[in-house]
Amino acid sequence: MKDWIKKAVIYQIYPRSFKDSNGDGVGDLVGITEKLPYLSNLGVDVIWLSPVYKSPNEDNGYDISDYEDIMEEFGTMADFDKMLETAHSLGLKIMMDLVVNHTSDEHKWFIESKNKNPKYSDYYFWSDSTNNWGAFFGGSVWEYSPERKQYYFHAFAPKQPDLNWDNPCVRKEVFDMMTYWCEKGVDGFRMDVISLISKPEKFCDGVPDSSRYSHVADHIANGRHVHEYLREMNKNVLSKYDIITVGETACVTIPEALYYAGFDTNELNMVFQFDNMGLDREKIGKWAKKRPQLTELKKILSKWQEELYGKAWNSLYWNNHDQPRVVSRFGNDDKYRIESAKMLAVCLHFMQGSPYIYQGEELGMTNAKFDDIKDYRDIETLNAYKELVGKGIMSQEDMLERLAFSSRDNARTPMQWTSGENAGFTNGTPWIKINENYTEINAENQVNDSNSIFNFYKKIIGLRKKYEIITELKYELLLPNSEELYIYKRLYKNSELLVICNFTSETQEFSLPEYFDSTEIVISNYNRAAYSNTLAPYEAVVLGVNLQ
């Protein structure tokens, strides 16, 4: 794998909530361009841009009606070109979101398909009958089209019909579209639910769960041709450009990841795995909160570190637009918000793989915790509320408490730029409420404060550039049974890093192994000059021996 990819730190922008330049309450491309110097100051290398293509916005752009046009609310193609040019002039790369498991039902291909234009007839999955699979956003995966007088398949919302990748014409359309963007000069793709693109030959009923449906993911993840199609994509497009790729691979296992992201498999550079994302949710109904166990978290992250080492590449993330804020999940978003946000950054960024920072994470932004369903905008949240509260399965109070913890909107509130009106995000009315804590938590406060979370992230990013070996060291977990401390070593030739993180709001004891006598403090979230055996609440410290 290319060296620049191994060393890159990636920053995700959710354009709708990043920066509004024209007062319509929705973030846009001109707003992003304005803020590129902020990202360049932070020191990141690549920006993953959530979808900016033309879309009716059923799922905030993850339902595309034209892959070669820009969403009206976000601006024009000229604005995109200007953004790309400015990014490049600052040394920043742009990774596009590639949403090709499905299109919008307003995409030309789907309109032609439902109207039985023979050329497009098999671009989607059509059937005279249905089965018992349940969609990600609730309800059946089948929707009736009165025009075609058949049902079509959608793994997500009815307005997101799934493309039929078994049709070579579909694959060619997708590859041509990718080429269009590569020729424009973009630097990579984050591939939305790419593990779902290859469907089974037959759509047989499955075992239903408590929702009376059989979850679609159990039937379509890591399908029979997925690796073949990705290799074809690699040969036809990816291999021709110097670009970075990451697959969002729902239900990925280690053996599958070794194909998707293997060093010699010619598919993708890395994948997002989700094993640790469900740790604070009950298995039944993703909406219930449970206390995450540190030992479980360690087990999962260590497994991915160890089993991919030398064979494939990890992506490292706590946050994205689909997950609640990490400091509200695995940290303490109240008394120890600053300490725990920094500790979580340390814990993740010293592992092997490419680190991802989701907008606002570098400020320690917290969950929104809305207490009125009217404040929510996310289709998944609203559908679940309708289903559970509407049908009397859960009380309104209960559901709101759960959403305040787990809704995707927790991460989608606007970036908190300043302590001024609307957090400096917009001059208009924001499309979704701004988190009330913006007067305290905002970029303006942090950029010039050397002790801020922002500057701590900046320092960590800088260390990755300074010590070549951060990308190469081998991982080894210490104290696997501790529910309080996450400690791991990174080893490479005669160099060693020791990463010590206290995941609790109490002090903890840990004495260093003897040979760690003369060490360098690489970073400490309590600004320690020397190591102390008593770790303060949420303390994180990284020690190094023979670092190069």
CB-nearest residue to ligand NOJ:
62
Q: Are 413 and 16 in contact (CB under 8 A)?
A: no
Q: Which two tokens stand for residue 59?
A: 């799922």
Residue type, 56: P
User: Does 73 sit near ligand NOJ (CB under 6 A)?
Assistant: no
Q: Smallest distance, Å, CB 510 to ligand NOJ?
A: 37
Nearer to ligand NOJ, 93 or 321 (CB): 321
Which 220-239 residues touch ligand NOJ, going by CB under 6 A? Answer: none
Nearer to ligand NOJ, 138 or 537 (CB): 138
Report whether 164 contacts 112 (CB < 8 A).
no
Tokens linked to 398: 């209960």
Q: Report in angstroms how near the CB of residue 380 gets to ligand NOJ at its nearest.
A: 7
- Under the binding rule (CB under 6 A), the answer on residue 123 touching ligand NOJ is no
Q: How far is the CB of 15 from ligand NOJ (least distance, A)?
A: 13
Collapsing DSSP states into helix, strand and coil, what is residue 187? Answer: coil
- Asked if residue 193 binds ligand NOJ (CB under 6 A), the reply is yes
Torsion, Cα 264 267 272 275, to 10 degrees, reads -70
Q: Which is nearer to ligand NOJ, 64 or 441 (CB)?
A: 64
Q: What is the nearest approach in angstroms of ligand NOJ to the Cβ of residue 155? A: 8
Interhelix angle 396-406/379-388, nearest 10 degrees: 160
CA distance 413 to 431: 9
CA dihedral 115, 97, 73, 124 (to 10 degrees): 10
By CB under 6 A, tell whether 382 contacts ligand NOJ. Answer: no
Tokens of 394: 């859960």
**Residue nearer to ligand NOJ on the CB measure, 153 or 486:** 153
Q: Is 105 in the site for ligand NOJ (CB under 6 A)?
A: no
Number of alpha carbons in the 13 Å side-chain half-sphere of residue 523: 27
Is 79 among the residues that bind ligand NOJ (CB under 6 A)? no
Name the β-bridge partners of 70: 53
DSSP annotation of 320 = -
Q: Pattern of binders to ligand NOJ over 316-345, x per CB under 6 A?
A: -----xx-----------------------
Q: How far is the CB of 376 from ligand NOJ (least distance, A)?
A: 14
Whole-angstrom CA distances from 1 to 7, 101, 305, 348 are 11, 26, 17, 21
Which residues have a Cβ under 8 Å from the Cβ of 385 and sit 6 or more positions away?
Answer: 373, 376, 399, 403
Contacts of ligand NOJ in 511-540 (CB under 6 A)? none
Q: Which of 469, 471, 477 is nearest to 498 (CA)?
A: 477
The answer to whether residue 176 is catalytic is no
Q: Choose, from 28, 79, 248, 267, the residue flagged as catalytic.
A: 248
Q: Is 467 in the site for ligand NOJ (CB under 6 A)?
A: no
Secondary structure (3-state) at 291? coil
> Is the CB of 47 or the CB of 193 nearer to ligand NOJ?
193
CB of 196 to ligand NOJ, least distance (A): 9
Question: How near is the Cβ of 62 to ligand NOJ at its closest, in Å?
Answer: 3
Taking CB under 6 A as the criterion, the residue among 11, 109, 133, 156 binding ligand NOJ is 156
Question: Quick check: 59 binds ligand NOJ (CB under 6 A)?
Answer: yes
Number of residues that bind ligand NOJ (CB under 6 A): 9
**Smallest separation (angstroms) from ligand NOJ to the CB of 301:** 21
Question: What beta strand segments (E) does 135-238 contain?
Answer: 142-145, 150-153, 188-191, 214-215
Annotated catalytic, 444? no
d(CA 385, CA 290): 19
Q: Which of residues 295-314 bind ligand NOJ (CB under 6 A)?
A: none
Candidate list 192, 361, 362, 409; residue touching ligand NOJ; CB under 6 A: 192
* 378 touches ligand NOJ (CB under 6 A): no
The DSSP element (H or E) to which 419 belongs, if any, is none
Tell me if 62 contacts ligand NOJ by CB under 6 A.
yes
Q: What does 366-387 look like in DSSP terms, one character per residue?
A: ------SGGG---HHHHHHHHH
Going by their DSSP bridges, the two strands 508-509 and 534-535 should be labelled as antiparallel
What are the catalytic residues? 192, 248
Residues that bind ligand NOJ (CB under 6 A): 59, 62, 99, 156, 192-193, 248, 321-322
